[in-house]
Structure 1
Amino acid sequence: MSSDRLIYLPLGGAGEIGMNAYVYGWGAPDHERLILVDLGVAFPDMDTTPGVDLILPDIAWLRERLDRLEAIFITHAHEDHLGALSQHYGDLRGVPVHARAFTANLARRKMEEQGHDPKVVRTTGAWPETVVAGPFRAGFLPISHSIPESAGLVIDTPGGRIVHSGDFKLDPTPVVGEAFAPDLWAQVAEPGVQALICDSTNVFSPHPGRSEADLAPAIRELVGQAEGMVVTTTFASNVARLKTLAEAGQASGRSIVFLGRAMRRMIEAAVETGVLTDFPSVISPEEAREVPRENLMLLVTGSQGERRAASAQLARGKHQGIELKAGDLFLFSSKTIPGNERGVIRIMNQLSEKGVDVVDDEGGRYHVSGHANRPDLQQIHRILRPRILVPNHGEHRHLREHVKLGEESGINGIVAPNGTMVDLTGAAPKVAEHIEAGRTYLDGSVRIGALDGVVRDRIRMALNGHVIVTVVLDEDDAPLGEAWCDLKGLPEIGSSKAPLVDVLEEDLTQFLNRAGAKTLADDDKLEGDLRRIARQSALSEIGKKPEVTVVISRLR
Structure 2
Amino acid sequence: MSTERLIYLPLGGAGEIGMNAYVYGYGKPGKERLILVDLGVAFPDMDSTPGVDLIMPDMTWLKERANRLEGIFITHAHEDHIGAVAHMYSHLKVPIYARAFTANIARRKMKEHGHPEEAVQTVSAWPEVVKLGPFTIGVVPMAHSIPESGGMVIDTPAGRILHSGDFKTDPTPIVGEAFDPDLWASLGKDGVQALMCDSTNVFSLNPGRSEVDVGPEITKLVGAAKGMVVATTFASNVARVKTLAEAGERAGRSIVLLGRAMQRMVDAAFETGVLKSFPNLVSPEEASQMPRENLMLLVTGSQGERRAASAQLARGKYRGLQIKEGDLFLFSSKTIPGNEKGVISIINQFSEKGVDVVDDSSGIYHVSGHANRPDLETLHDLVKPKMLIPMHGEHRHLREHAQLAISKGMASAVVVNGMMMDLTGDTPVVADYVDTGRTYLDGTVKIGAMDGVVRDRIRMALNGHIVVTVILDEDDAPLGEPWCDVKGVAETGRSKGGLVEALEKDLDQFLKRANKKTLRDDDKLEEGLRRVARQTSQNEIGKKPEVTVVVSRMR
TM-score range, shorter chain: over 0.9
Match of 2:42 in 1: 42
What SS does the corresponding residue of 2:216 show, helix, strand or coil? helix
Aligned pairs (5 A) from 1:105-254: 105-254=104-253
Is the partner of 1:535 in helix, strand or coil?
Answer: helix
User: How many Å separate the matches in 2 of 1:522 and 1:99?
Assistant: 60
Name the residue aligned to 2:54. Answer: 54
CA offsets, 1:198-247, max 9 Å, x none?
00000000000000010011100101111111111111100000000000
Which string of whole-angstrom CA distances, capped at 9 and with x for unpartnered residues, describes residues 91-123 of structure 1?
012x11100000000000001111100101000
The number of residues matched between the two structures is 555
Is 2:31 the partner of 1:6? Answer: no
Shift of 1:24: 0.4
In 2, the alpha carbon distance for the partners of 1:461 and 1:145 equals 42
Q: Equivalents in 1 of 2:107, 2:302: separation in Å?
A: 26
| Residue 85 (structure 1) shift | 0.5
**Match for residue 452 of structure 1?**
451
Q: Distance in 1 between matches of 2:320 and 2:504?
A: 50
Instruction: Name the CA distance, whole Å, in 2 between partners of 1:480 and 1:314.
Output: 56
**Corresponding residue SS for 1:511:** helix
Distance 1:111 1:321 in 2: 32
1:363, distance to aligned residue in structure 2 (A): 2.6
CA distance in 2, matches of 1:147, 1:206: 23
Aligned partner letter, 1:150: S
* 1:283-294 alignment runs, 5 A limit: 283-294=282-293
Alignment pair present for 1:433 and 2:432:
yes
Partners of 1:347 and 1:505 lie apart in 2 by 45
Displacement of 1:482:
1.2
1:25 maps to a residue whose letter is G
SS at match of 1:362: coil
How far, CA to CA, are the matches of 2:186 and 2:383 in structure 1?
9
Using the TM superposition, give the Cα deviation of residue 489 of structure 1 relative to its aligned residue in structure 2, in angstroms: 0.4
Q: Does residue 500 of the first structure (1) align with residue 502 of the second (2)?
A: no
Secondary structure in structure 1 of the residue aligned to 2:322? coil
Counterpart CA distance in 2 for 1:300 and 1:481 is 60
- One-letter code aligned to 1:104: A
**SS in structure 1 opposite 2:56?**
strand
Q: CA deviation at 1:409?
A: 1.6
Q: CA shift at 1:286, angstroms?
A: 1.2
Q: Does 1:79 align with 2:101?
A: no
Deviation at 1:408, TM superposition (A): 2.1
- CA distance in 1 between partners of 2:138 and 2:58 (Å): 26
Moved more, 198-207 or 185-194: 185-194
Structure 2 unpaired stretches of 5+: none
Q: Counterparts of 1:237 and 1:475 in 2: how far apart (Å)?
A: 66
**Corresponding residue SS for 1:478:** coil
SS in 2 for 1:67: helix
The corresponding residue for 1:399 is 398
2:418 aligns with 419
Aligned to 1:533: 532
Instruction: Determine helix, strand or coil for the equivalent of 1:364.
Output: coil
The separation in 2 between residues aligned to 1:143 and 1:212, in whole angstroms, is: 14
Q: Secondary structure at the match of 2:321?
A: coil
- TM-score when normalising by structure 2: 0.99
Partner in structure 1 of residue 360 of structure 2: 361
| CA deviations over 1:348-390 (Å, ceiling 9, x no partner) | 0011000000100033110000000000000100000000100
Output the aligned Cα RMSD: 0.7
What CA distance in whole angstroms lies between the structure 2 residues aligned with 1:23 and 1:6?
A: 11
Structure-1-length-normalised TM-score = 0.99
Specify the alignment match of 2:25 in structure 1. Answer: 25
Deviation at 1:514, TM superposition (A): 2.5
In the TM superposition, 1:368-379 aligns within 5 A as 368-379=367-378
Q: Which amino acid aligns with 1:119?
A: E
Please give the alpha-carbon distance, in whole angstroms, between the structure 2 residues aligned to 1:481 and 1:72.
63
Distance 2:300 2:551 in 1: 49
Aligned residue in 1 for 2:553: 554
Give the Cα separation in 2 of the matches to 1:477 and 1:82: 58
Matches within 5 A, 1:225-374: 225-374=224-373
- For residues 68 and 363 of structure 1, what CA distance do their matches in structure 2 show? 50
Per the TM alignment, residue 319 of structure 1 is displaced from its structure 2 partner at its CA by 1.1
1:363 partner SS: coil
Q: What pairs up with 1:84-95 in 2 under 5 angstroms?
A: 84-93=84-93, 95=94
1:242-291 superposed Cα distances (whole Å, 9 cap, x missing partner): 00000011111111111110000000000000000111111111111111
Task: State how far apart, in whole Å, the 2-side matches of 1:193 and 1:518 are.
Answer: 72
Please give the secondary structure, in 1, of the residue aligned with 2:510: helix
Q: 2: CA distance between counterparts of 1:264 and 1:315?
A: 20
CA distance in 2, matches of 1:472, 1:254: 71
Deviation at 1:478, TM superposition (A): 1.1
**C-alpha separation between the residues in 2 aligned to 1:451 and 1:482?**
37
Which contiguous aligned blocks of 4+ residues in structure 1 show a shift greater than 4 angstroms?
none
- One-letter code of the match for 1:68? R
Q: Which residue of 2 aligns with 1:545?
A: 544
Match of 1:390 in 2: 389
In structure 2, distance between residues paired with 1:50 and 1:282:
38
Tell me the amino acid that sits aligned with residue 14 of structure 1.
A
Deviation readout 1:174-194 (Å, 9 max, x if unpaired): 010000111111111112111
Which secondary structure does the structure 2 equivalent of 1:194 belong to?
strand
Which one-letter code corresponds to 1:87 in the other structure?
H
Aligned AA for 2:407? E
Partner Cα distance (1:64, 1:380) in 2 = 36
Taking the aligned partners of 1:310 and 1:501, their CA distance within structure 2 comes to 43
Structure 1 residue 513 displacement after superposition: 2.2
Give, as a single letter, the amino acid of the residue that structure 1 aligns with 2:5.
R
Letter in 2 for 1:64: E
Cα distance in 2, alignment partners of residues 493 and 294 from structure 1: 55
Amino acid at match of 2:22: Y
Q: Cα offset for 1:510?
A: 1.8
Deviation at residue 529 of structure 1 after TM alignment? 0.6
CA distance in 1, matches of 2:101, 2:546: 49
Pairwise CA distance, 1:65: 0.8
Greater alpha carbon shift after TM alignment, 495-504 vs 21-30: 495-504
Q: CA deviation at 1:543?
A: 0.7
> What's the CA shift string for 1:302-338, capped at 9, x where partnerless?
1111111111111111111111110000000110111
Query: 1:497: how far off?
Result: 1.3
Partners of 1:418 and 1:153 lie apart in 2 by: 20
What is the DSSP-based 3-state SS (H/G/I as helix, E as strand, rest coil) of the residue aligned with 2:192? coil
